[in-house]
Amino acid sequence: MINHFSVIILLHIAAKQGHVIHSIDIKAAFLYANLKEKVYVKIPPGIADAEGSVWEIDKALYGLGQSPQAWYEHLTKFIEETLGFKKLPGFPCLFRLKKGHHDIRYIGVYVDDMIITSTHLLMLKKLNKPSRILST
């Protein structure tokens, strides 16, 4: 996940290049990522006809050790494959998209929060729709 040093670098670059800065919080983000392995949980007490039964979980849930990695992989795939951003070397949670000399965009990811910077307000409006991220 992005660390404080990376946030400082991202905000410094954005300020120096005159970018517009926006943040996004994706609600219930982990629920949109699929788990790669099988995970089973005991059914909670009070569920009818559930004594001794288990459920198979196929979506990442808060509290599962695998959930942050599953969400990171889901989000990274969207940022790289759909939006065309590339990871910055040495910063696995910072992404850059360069479309010409003066059109540079950055995304910083911290769990289910993102900092997005761009020289163009229109790009921020397009990215400010978490449903685009979640539906991939």
Average confidence (pLDDT) over 112-136: 67
Instruction: Check residue 51 and give its pLDDT.
Output: 64
pLDDT above 90 (res 95)? yes
Instruction: Render pLDDT for 33-48 as a digit per residue (tens, 0 to 9).
Output: 888 888 888 887 777 6
pLDDT tens digits along 63-78:
888 888 888 888 899 8
What is the tally of structural domains in the chain? 1
- What is the arithmetic mean of pLDDT over 89-118? 85
Query: Which carries the bigger pLDDT value, residue 33 or residue 131?
Result: 33
**Mean pLDDT (whole number) for 3-13:** 85
Q: Using CA atoms, how far apart are residues 49 and 52, in angstroms rounded to an integer?
A: 9
For 121, the domain range is 4-134
Instruction: With cut-offs at 50, 70 and 90, classify the pLDDT of residue 136.
Output: very low
- 45's torsion region: left (phi>0), alpha (psi -120 to 50) or beta? beta
Q: What is the pLDDT of residue 64?
A: 83
The residue assigned the tokens 């065309």 is 84
Closest-CA residue to 133 (of 93, 46, 73, 88): 73
